[in-house]
Amino acid sequence: MIAITYIGHATTLIESGESRVLTDPHFGNRVLALKRQERMNYEPGKLPELSAIVISHAHHDHLDFNSFKYIKSTVPVFVPIGIAKLVSKYIRNPVIELHQFASHKLPNGTEITATPAKHVGFRWTGLRYRACNSYVISFKNQSLATSHQPLVFFAGDTAYGDHFKELGQMFGAQTPIDVALLPIASYSPVWFMKHRHTNPAEAIQAFIDLGAKKMVPIHFGAFKLSSEKMKEPIEWLTRLALERELGDRIHILKSGEKAEF
């Protein structure tokens, strides 16, 4: 069983067995000067015991140091190569850098693998802390009695590319991805955003390329980071899901909602 709680933007809580992984924690009301547009319907002070945190890249909407005040300093934080020096300046947690396709196994057996993302992360200038990861999380908990071990893909922030099909072939050869967390917003103006983010149509194609069983959209609704209307990504995704008869496989969650798979 996998439980996904959508907290907002790219922040999700992934639970399976005794493992709980938090993605790109951002509990604040602002990204720099940009105010949160949708109420975050989740109390970060009530987070459960976490097994790990994964950080996709260093942009302020994905790496918010103030949010770590809600997180115990013993929780390991996984980051792309070259980001640990930055992160360790602001938090006391153990920070583990992962090259793409490198893996780290947690004491409970859950394995975190860094995978490609077509994006450019940076902090302060475009020349520093540029690396980006997506992640595949394999929940190999001893408490899970079934032979199938749940697999979750967290895209972080990415444009569409061949890496989705490659990952589908790589992981699908062993066991299909159960749930793919895929970004759907910040795609306009197209000439600028196309090489950085996926729109809903591209997110669905990424979902198909991955060969995943279920999709949960992320990276929408919380902050206005581009020129499309705030509700447009969800409306577009909903329409496409109906047209392509994917409604039972694409699960749109509001902030604070949980889905179990």
Rg from Cα positions in the chain: 17
Position 234: which residue type?
Answer: I
pLDDT exceeds 60 at position 76: yes
Residue 122: the pLDDT is 79
Average of pLDDT values for 102-129?
88
Neighbours of 46 (CB within 10 A): 7
Contact predicate 2/15, CB 8 Å: yes
- Give the C-alpha separation, 97 to 139, whole Å: 20
Residue 120: the pLDDT is 86
Average of pLDDT values for 45-59?
97
Position 121: which residue type?
Answer: G
pLDDT averaged over every residue in the chain: 94
Query: Which is nearest to 36 in space by CA: 56, 57, 64, 58?
Result: 64
Question: Domain containing 254: what range?
Answer: 3-260
pLDDT exceeds 80 at position 146: no
pLDDT exceeds 80 at position 131: yes
Report the SS3 class of residue 92: coil
Query: Residue 247 sits in a domain of what CATH number?
Result: 3.60.15.10
- Give the C-alpha separation, 87 to 79, whole Å: 9
- Return the DSSP state at 38: S
CA 10 distance to own-chain centroid: 5
Residue 80: the pLDDT is 97
Phi first, then psi: give them for residue 205, nearest 5 degrees: -65, -40
DSSP assignment of 104-170 equals EE-TTS-EEEEE--S----BSBTTSS----EEEEE---TT--SSPPPEEEE--S----THHHHHHHH
pLDDT in tens, 210-261: 999 999 999 999 999 999 999 999 999 999 999 999 999 999 999 999 999 9
- Give the C-alpha separation, 227 to 160, whole Å: 19
Share of the chain above pLDDT 90, in %: 87
- Number of structural domains in the chain: 1
**pTM for the whole structure:** 0.95
Could you give the count of Cα atoms lying within 13 Å of 105 in the half-sphere of its Cβ? 5
pLDDT in tens, 24-47: 999 999 999 999 999 999 999 999
Q: What's the burial of 99, exposed, middle or buried (CB within 10 Å: 0-12/13-18/19+)?
A: exposed
